[in-house]
């Protein structure tokens, strides 16, 4: 929905009157933003926060709601003057309109998978008796709301396939409400489970109930901002109300700890993983065969990451980076849990171990080799059996299943290769095509390469470049440089209609695998955390300078983009090097590094960022915090900030405050605009029409600010949708 929600306030009319629509080449007339005399003392250092009031929830603050409406009115008026925008949205819609499938999973002899016909706002869950059979709709969320913002969240089937637990998320929120459906009768059970986020559902093998994690109900009006504390692992028995659920694990003395609970495939044990933040974790195990048994601490020390893979009776398998920065697989015996008795089944090698699945008595180890996927198959003794042959340079996901399965499924995609799903036969090691996307572009017209450049401190950093064939390195190409660089997450080759549209516009897409991510294991990640955070920004700046030096582009043609932690990245580099970029697109970014930990999920990020509560970390945070490093009278690049009014992960106050400070400080005509999506969150579950509209606005902004002329084929009739 492009129009902001109505605000019945008299002062809004005056604000809007002071901010008439502006032509794309003029300096916008920004709405007036009130400043307050807010100064905080951090370890003896006074720090001003003049836009503190913009942290208030848009649902409860009329003044913030009025500011949002005024900013959206300005932004959409400005974007509406861009002549290229209609053609961009039309081409994005054509490219988006292809069938997309999820990976099949089998329960009770029935296969289940999600599918989108192309332009449906939300994916639909289907059931099919045979892979080549006629699918039937199980759950279609597209009728749940008029604007497509109520979505199907998680799903979990009981082992026998009789029951399905499924969740609903509204307006992009992380909060989920869970329901249970009896698949025999097709009817939903009466109970509904609320105040659940970041939690899966794990069924007991008898199919009578499941374990999940929940929070206490937030204070009235605080669900989208209050820090989430005191999570509990609960057991829900079918047919009973949620208040009757038993609490099986909690740590009231550690309100900030969070938990996930998984029932082992044999049904004997409950594995509980415990986190303080997002880094190292503990592991508890409860013997479900003993009704009164307490959870037993199996892995202690907070010294590494431990991901549960599966078990063989009392022998438990974990993926860990303990003593292995790039990951290994270890076996831990419940009868001899001391570390001296642990056995390494799959040792560390030169590639980075991302995920491990245990299917049909094989470990499927998904590695990254310079940020691209490799999959190796091992038996349960740790002996390598084979590699999975992949179609090319790209990314792989999947390889889920159970110990008795004879098949598994995986998805492959790359920058110019739409997703392909394969069925993998465990006995023969043969992959056969299950579904292949049919899209309206020619993949052969694009090429992908990987380059390496040198960062400020001499570190060698990889970067993918994707563009049309026959590109001239004459410094005149528009480039969109993207990165993330945080939380041990790896950026790998992936397909999107938006990237294809950008490259059809003559652009180069550059993906830099900067430090802070997980591409090269723990050391690569920790090389840009806390006091070393500046390394991620230096890596990103070095990528931009390399692209200019190598004549791929010039400063006036170079745009940078990133979301969430990547939004912080863009905010940091544009305040440190404003002269380097032709346009900036920070999306749902963490912009106030002194207060991020006070809202919703923010406290989990202190492992990566540090905390302003610590004097030394405060100094490092203040040195790069985007909001605090905006300098009045500076000529900042054209900037389009994007966020959403119901983002309860990175609360929108970050983007609101950053934008207000930027607009006041900006010197010259370059626009500083903010696009605030309504009834949307951090990005998950965003309806297709909203996603296309937002990208059309971003690409149109880049077309206007970088001086991009659209392909001739976009300007006339396109019978086939292809150039």
Give the catalytic positions in this structure: 564, 682
CB of 152 within 8 A of CB of 141? Answer: yes
Residue 665 φ/ψ, nearest 5 degrees: -85, -20
Least Cα distance to 526 among 304, 250, 246 occurs for: 304
Least Cα distance to 210 among 249, 262, 286, 273 occurs for: 262
Residues forming beta bridges with residue 212, ordered by sequence position: 234
Percent helix, strand and coil across the chain, each rounded to 5?
A: 25, 30, 45
Question: How far is residue 248's CA from residue 236's CA, in Å, rounded to a whole number?
Answer: 10
Q: Which long-range contacts (CB under 8 A, 24 or more apart) does 299-307 make?
A: 299/332, 299/337, 302/276, 304/280, 305/279, 305/280, 305/281, 306/273, 306/281, 307/273, 307/356
Q: At what angle do helices 497-504 and 85-96 cross, to 10 degrees?
A: 130
Rg (CA), the chain: 26
CB atoms within 10 A of CB 242: 15
Query: Read out DSSP for 439-456?
Result: -SS-GGGEEEEEEEEE-T
Question: How far is residue 519's CA from residue 488's CA, in Å, rounded to a whole number?
Answer: 8
Query: Read out DSSP for 482-539?
Result: E----TT--------HHHHHHHHTTPEEEEE--BTBSTT-HHHHHTTSGGGTHHHHHH
- What do you get for the CA distance between the two ends of the chain, in Å? 30
Question: How far is residue 150's CA from residue 171's CA, in Å, rounded to a whole number?
Answer: 6
Question: How far is residue 174's CA from residue 601's CA, in Å, rounded to a whole number?
Answer: 10
CB of 602 within 8 A of CB of 667? Answer: no
Question: How far is residue 464's CA from residue 216's CA, in Å, rounded to a whole number?
Answer: 44
Half-sphere exposure at residue 284, Cβ-oriented, CA atoms within 13 angstroms: 18
Query: Who's near 162: CB < 8 A, 6+ residues apart?
Result: 108, 182, 183, 184, 207
Question: How far is residue 172's CA from residue 228's CA, in Å, rounded to a whole number?
Answer: 17
* Two tokens, residue 271: 């594995």
Classify 94 as helix, strand or coil. Answer: helix
Q: Which long-range contacts (CB under 8 A, 24 or more apart) does 29-35 make?
A: 29/74, 30/74, 30/663, 30/664, 30/672, 31/67, 31/70, 31/71, 31/74, 33/67, 33/660, 33/663, 33/664, 34/63
CB of 298 within 8 A of CB of 273? Answer: no
Residues forming beta bridges with residue 600, ordered by sequence position: none
Question: How far is residue 29's CA from residue 337's CA, in Å, rounded to a whole number?
Answer: 66
Give residue for tokens 């296969």.
Answer: 111
Q: Which parts of 610-686 are beta strand (E)?
A: 639-644, 672-677
CB of 628 within 8 A of CB of 47? Answer: yes
């Amino acid at each position: 929905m492009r129009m902001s929600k109505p605000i019945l306030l008299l002062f809004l009319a005056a604000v809007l009157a002071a901010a008439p629509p502006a032509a794309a080449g003029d300096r916008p007339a920004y709405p007036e933003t009130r400043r307050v005399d807010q100064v905080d003392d951090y370890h003896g250092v006074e720090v001003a926060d003049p836009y503190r009031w913009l942290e208030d929830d848009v649902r409860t603050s009329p003044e913030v709601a009025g500011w949002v409406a005024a900013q959206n009115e300005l932004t959409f008026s400005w974007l509406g003057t861009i002549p290229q925008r209609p053609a961009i949205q039309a081409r994005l819609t054509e490219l988006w309109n292809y069938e997309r499938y999820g990976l099949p999973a089998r329960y009770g002899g029935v296969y289940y998978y999600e599918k989108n016909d192309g332009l449906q706002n939300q994916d639909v869950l289907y059931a099919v008796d045979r892979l080549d059979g006629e699918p039937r709709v199980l759950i279609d969320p597209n009728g749940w709301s008029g604007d497509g913002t109520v979505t199907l969240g998680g799903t979990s089937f009981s082992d026998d396939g009789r029951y399905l637990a499924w969740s609903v998320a509204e307006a992009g929120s992380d909060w989920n409400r869970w329901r249970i459906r009896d698949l025999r009768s097709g009817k939903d059970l009466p109970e509904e489970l609320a105040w659940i986020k970041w939690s899966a559902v794990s069924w007991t093998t008898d199919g009578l109930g499941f374990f999940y994690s929940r929070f206490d109900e937030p204070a009235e009006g605080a669900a989208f901002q209050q820090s989430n504390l005191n999570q509990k692992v609960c057991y829900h028995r079918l047919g009973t109300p949620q208040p009757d659920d038993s609490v099986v694990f909690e740590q009231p003395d550690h309100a900030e700890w969070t938990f996930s609970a998984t029932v082992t495939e044999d049904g004997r044990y409950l594995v509980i993983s415990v986190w303080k933040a997002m880094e190292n974790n503990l592991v508890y195990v409860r013997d479900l065969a003993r009704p009164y048994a307490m959870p037993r601490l199996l892995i202690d020390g907070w010294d590494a990451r431990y991901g549960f893979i599966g078990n063989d009776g009392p022998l438990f398998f974990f993926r860990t980076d303990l003593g292995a920065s790039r990951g290994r697989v270890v076996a831990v015996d419940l009868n001899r849990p001391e570390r001296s008795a642990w056995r390494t089944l799959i040792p560390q090698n030169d590639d980075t171990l991302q995920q491990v699945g245990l299917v049909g008595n094989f470990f499927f180890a998904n590695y990254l080799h310079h940020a691209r996927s490799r999959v190796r198959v091992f038996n349960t003794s740790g002996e390598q059996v084979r590699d999975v042959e992949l179609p090319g340079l790209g990314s792989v996901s999947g390889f889920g299943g159970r110990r008795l399965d004879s098949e598994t499924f995986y998805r492959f995609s790359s920058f110019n290769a739409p997703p392909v799903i394969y069925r993998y036969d465990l006995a023969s090691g043969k992959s056969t095509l299950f579904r292949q996307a049919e899209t309206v572009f020619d993949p052969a017209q694009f090429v992908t390469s990987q380059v390496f450049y040198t960062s400020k401190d001499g570190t060698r950093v990889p970067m993918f470049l994707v563009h049309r064939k026959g590109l001239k390195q004459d410094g005149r190409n528009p480039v969109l440089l993207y990165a993330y660089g945080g939380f041990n997450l790896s950026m790998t080759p992936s397909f999107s209609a938006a990237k294809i549209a950008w490259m059809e516009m003559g652009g180069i897409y550059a993906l830099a695998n900067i430090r802070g991510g997980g591409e090269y294991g723990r050391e690569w990640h920790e090389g840009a955390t806390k006091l070393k955070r500046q390394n991620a920004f230096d890596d990103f700046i070095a990528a931009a300078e390399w692209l200019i030096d190598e004549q791929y582009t010039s400063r006036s043609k170079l745009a940078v983009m990133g979301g969430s932690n990547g939004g912080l990245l863009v905010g940091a580099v544009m305040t440190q090097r404003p002269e380097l970029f032709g346009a900036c697109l920070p999306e749902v970014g963490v912009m106030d590094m002194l207060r991020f930990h006070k809202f919703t999920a923010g406290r989990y990020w202190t492992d990566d960022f540090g905390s302003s509560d610590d004097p030394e970390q405060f100094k490092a945070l203040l040195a790069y915090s985007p909001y605090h490093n905006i300098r009045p009278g500076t000529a900042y690049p054209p900037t389009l900030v994007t966020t959403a009014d119901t983002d309860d992960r990175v609360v929108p106050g970050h983007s609101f405050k950053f934008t207000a400070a930027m607009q006041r400080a900006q010197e010259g005509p370059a626009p500083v605009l903010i696009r605030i999506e309504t009834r949307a969150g951090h990005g998950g579950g965003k309806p297709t029409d909203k996603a296309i509209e937002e990208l059309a606005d971003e690409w149109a902004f880049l077309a206007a600010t970088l001086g991009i002329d659209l392909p001739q084929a976009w300007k006339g009739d396109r019978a086939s949708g292809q150039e």
